Structure 1
Amino acid sequence: MKQGCALGLALVCVAGLTGPVMAQASVSNDVQIDGFEQPELRELNYNLDSGSVRVENPQQGARDLQVPVWEGIVDVPDAEWIRLRFSDVALAHSTEEVRESYLRVTSLQDGYEQYLDAKSLAEWSNTSAYFNGGAVKIEIMASPNASGQVNRVRVWGVQASAPVVGPRSICGTVDDRVLSYDNRDARLMPIGCTAWLFSDHGNRMLTAGHCGPGTGDVIQFNVPLSSSGGSPQNPPPQDQYPVDGSSVQQASSIFIGSDWAYFGVFDNSNTGMSPGTSYGVWHDLAPSQIPSDGRPIRITGYGSTSSPVPASWYLVQKTHVGPLASIVGNTVRYATDTTGGNSGSAILDENNQIAIGIHTNAGCSSGGGSNQGTSLFNNDLQNALANPQGICLPRDIQASVVARPTHVQPEGGDEIVLQIDNLQGHSVVGAPKFIVNATDGTSFEQDMVDNGDGTYTGTFGSYYCGSSVSYSFEIEDEEGTVVSVPASGTFTTVALDDLTIAFEDNFQTNMGWQSYTTGGSSTFIRAEPNGFGMGDPDSDADGSGMCYVTSNISGRDVDNGSVWLLSPPINISGVEDGVLRVSVWMTGTGPDSMDIEISTNAGLSFTEVTSITSTNGQWQDLSYDIASLNPASNILQMRISVTDAGADTTVEGGVDAFKVTSEVCDNTPGCPADLNGDGALDFFDVSGFLSAYNAMDPSADFDGNGSFDFFDVSAFLSAFSAGCP
């Protein structure tokens, strides 16, 4: 294992280092809007750098287990908690043999761990979660057979704690708050405010505008007691969520009655879930303004404390109920105890358990008075709630096909089932649509049958045997949003009397494909496509997850040469009515090309069967009749090249869903022109032939030579004229 220094660990002790305390917020928390204290902290600048590290002794066959290839320790001896700031992070990406590298950060005080890959590092703005204690261990975790790629991490800064006592806004002489454990309410760090979940969306939150949520801030649930000295402690990383800066909307001018912020958090990098999904609770918003009638108001939040309240209650969740004092315009007043750190708390109508506003300001004292907040019915806040941004945008209904058919019977009647996986708070309106288009000209849209258990059934029609059948689904929710399955394009099957799969590869494992490069950069790799916006796919063709793509690295495409992908040898002996099928993706311009070649003589020579410049931003299904290739042996191979012809263009390629099948059609002897199989020759057969011919469907290859030309038209007309027996 790579070491951080000659002693075996990189140990960075920053005791005695000093750094600037983070800037104070410009607006008050619970005092009038003229000054504000947040939890005191330090920003410490220094350098811990792993350098470039890689696996020195790769272990073949151990792909499923990442191992540490470097570790280092950051230690701030006088800190009760720390948070790391990263830069120059390079993590090996996934390839056909290697899983993506990631960082593992572990608190040496309580053993809590956080896992950060390239995606979650971006969501966390190159920072870690908050960790208890002053020391953490950082490890680079890489696949043990990843000998060809380097990894690196640099820690350039540490945010460290120092306790402080905040201002009071207690209504009377006694702090009546008690400890609380409500996962609707969270702590916003590092500012030291309160924020709260609302709606079943799972990621949406509200707080005070002067708390200023933004990129780099962190929301914490299940916050433990502070230390005996009053320094805030932190929950495990699975209870911490980074703020999505692109989601933030807040009051443009902050004053009492106009002090709000609406934002969202990313899903947790350890669990992959939103806080709403993890905890299953959230605040419900009041549908209308309540009367000013003295009803009980609850404030729950992460306020500061002072003696005689225990120091361990500092900035942990506490709650109190007091009477509603008044609602005037957009300002809500109540005699409920709060202190600094409560800013952003929900103003909760205790009788109806609905949130009516956001706590923002003090007003209480030992002589009485009332604390204050912003009504939910502030017009600007209502406009923001109606126009979410970033992660707060509505999440659509999620659905999937229970079992996609390898083929369907030409006479029709095969059923297919669509399953609703997650309603995301929506409801299905009407019946989902089952949409089918076949190369024989058949086309229909069908209302699916509700099975009453979250699944719906559709039924395939009849098609000419050998026709390619494309299908998709549409689901409409109560807001009129239509969700397509798949999200783009269609699923594809084929109408056959019988189908036997001789060889199939969805590229979830390495089945012997070889990739190489001639005269240029990039290569074919087997991976989950990342979709970096340079004409490369963002998903595979068959939904299995992985495929072969060129590069799969941001900003890199095929340049000034060719990349090649060669299939393993495939034994086609005994394959009756054999068809080779493959899905391809190509982005190119002008002379750029994807060339597909097939060898039927055990790889001695290859014949080009297709040349493509572009698939227009989608996967394209190709099929080849093996008999028409006049195989010279029982061994078949495919070779695909993607070429950048040298111009300043973007070139990307992909390959997926490769299979060799036996596709049998038992058509009625003596009546090949009866394309729709109804026993009569009429206009519909002519229309079916023309549709199949234009689509280059094998059913229109009447002379069986693998090409589509005048001779196929002539053969069809002759068969049509001969009639049915």
Structure 2
Amino acid sequence: MCLPLLNWGQTGGLPQHIKASSLTLRAGDNIGKSSAQVITKTISEKDAIWLRLFFKDVNLGVNSTLTITSKLDGAKQILTTSNIKDWKNSSAYFNGDSVILELSIAPGETAIGLDVMELAVGDPSLQIKSQCGSVDDRVDSNDAAIGRIVPIGCTGWIITNGKLVTAGHCVSSRAEIIEFNVPKSNPDRTIVHPGPEDQYPIGNFVTPYTNQPSQANDWAVFTASANSLTGQTPIQAQGKSFNVVQSAPGNNITITGFGTDTGIDNQTQQIHTGPLSSVTNTFVRYRTDTTGGNSGSPIIDTATGNAIGVHAYGGCTGSGGSNSGERATIPAFWDAMGLDGGGNPPTDECTGDVSSFPFSESFESNLGQWKQATSGDDINWTRNSGGTPSNGTGPSAANDGSTYLYVEASGNGTGYPNKRAILNSPCLDFGSLTSPKLTFQYHMVGSAIESLAVEARTNNTGNWVSVFNRTGAQGSDWNAADVDLSSYAGEASVQLRFNAVTGDGGQGWQSDIAIDAVAIQNGTGNPDPSCPTLNFNDFQINAYANQDSSGNNSSVVSGGSGLSLSNNTWKYITLNYNVTANTVLEFDFSSSAEGEIHAVGFDDDNALTANRYFKVHGTQNYGVTNYDDYTSGTKKYTIPVGNFYTGNMNQLVFINDNDAGSGNTSIFSNVKIYEGSCGQSATAESLISALESVTPILGDESENSLLNTRIHPNPAKSRFSIYINDYVKGNINATFYSVLGRKVGQKELKPGVNIVSAQSLSLGKGIYLIRIDSEDGLSTQKLIIN
């Protein structure tokens, strides 16, 4: 009997050394109860490729924070009491040899501080590569579901339920991180880390390998905490996952991962496809190129794109052998992934054959032809009339008739946290439909609302595909959903499912989610439901990005149908909406005086994205300016947003930018968002085509408050002033350079007038460049000293 070649685990650990540190950041004893304090220190390690910090004796109180900034590329991470636990008292990876630590101590908080006990210091790498055959056939790849695990130097990947998979020998109790959207390495092979927004601390993991190391046990399933900057988990941020199946693969195997290499390709994502060598119920072997760092990569059946296991071992040579990994058929491995009922489930297949439409259900007597899932979820949907048992969550009554369905989130460990409820449709025959669609009412209110999704698949096989998704509270009223299913037109067997997840944390019981009035019909049949006006009383009005001035500068008017903004004001409401090619934004606008920017638009983060804001008035050439034609009175705007951009958004932003600070009030009222038809019998496509389809005209001015920075007098002799706009946010730092680029001084500034002594900075006669940095941007000024 021939035995396979002895294999070796394919890790590619980051070259590094650990160095003890005695750096301490602690609050002063004399800080006043109403005073804040900021302590700034710098850590530098000569010739380090990257740095990572490990802390002890941490106390960040309730509102105090630690901000870490790379001096090389400006990447930031903000740590708090809650998220530093997820990071196991460690930081993200920061490129370069120096980082700035800023401990911000909130007023009234005492004994705040921490110690830096160790530094992980990135070293140059001297490793070489190996692969099947004489030629390395891997090429660049950018699969969003696959990440790099550091410092061990492995690969991990997301599966359909949000969990992650890697090899068993790739996990340990030491704080590890999985990185996505990894950039190319440096020419000398030293790796470059993505920003902290793409790094996730690895949490719990399940693997038998640590107690019983063997090739059959070399798999691991793990979780990753939400990112400390974006608040998103890997599957939410990346928007992609692998469907894992237990079926045997075809003739070719694809491996995608972060193997070692030469130059800029070292430990960056690469892919190769090679022939299958053999397959058993435990192992799969293949002649596909892999190197150190590929451990944990998904084993992909090239014919289907499904993952069938996890790569763990190298064994290829130029003349024979094979690389190998563990199949998903290993019972403990499959159970740990928790995929029964998800991905490619063998159960909960749809039955029946609904071919007469409209097909509607309001759950007045029972579930009708809809069924509770028998696997893959934790709790069931419940029929109810009137309010739900829990205060502060759930509807007060049905939307249609007297009964609705909802998910009861009460009960720590039973109703929450993160408990899933799935409701499956019967088989739907869309063979005669040209534009099928799903309409329903949904209700999501509570302090810990998680998510509601509608997913679809065909012929009882393949991935569940999300066709509708809402996350977070959606107001106190029932909301109408109109879901386009035209991509499934002509399909003889389509199944839909409602997939709800309850909330997390101590208030997780406040996450009841309800549905009612579910209907499936052809899009050219009954008219779409009317599009209601937003009621601003149903939303919290939030300060947006770093642009909103302090004070009570917004109010809800006209019984909830309008939002009034005064002075220098940027606000947003949380509104999860999938902007499609047919999405229309309609509103009335009026303003008492012209400021710099009056605009509205969608966004998906809390940072400025100028090409998403539709400017209707103002002196500044900023944003999408196609509709910049307001003069006076109240004017109605109907903007085909889908002509300009599409995608999943979670904020609706309202702008009344007036850096002068006061003197104008703008009102956005009767705001409607709809998919083209808005209660009319015509199709969304025909109505959207009737609106003006134009090329975006983008303004060429940045919303950078530092643009108004002034130096006086200039030229100066011994003293001069630097004026900073009052609305610049955060820390403001000025760095002085000679005309030859040598750094000669640094000074912290504040909004308003800053008096500077040339003598205190040792500035002699000459010409200098001043680089001024803040959260609002960057400004470079020239200074002449006579």
TM-score where L is the length of structure 1: 0.48
TM-score where L is the length of structure 2: 0.45
Report the structure number with the largest CA radius of gyration.
Answer: 1
Higher RCO (C-alpha under 8 Å, 6+ residues apart): 1
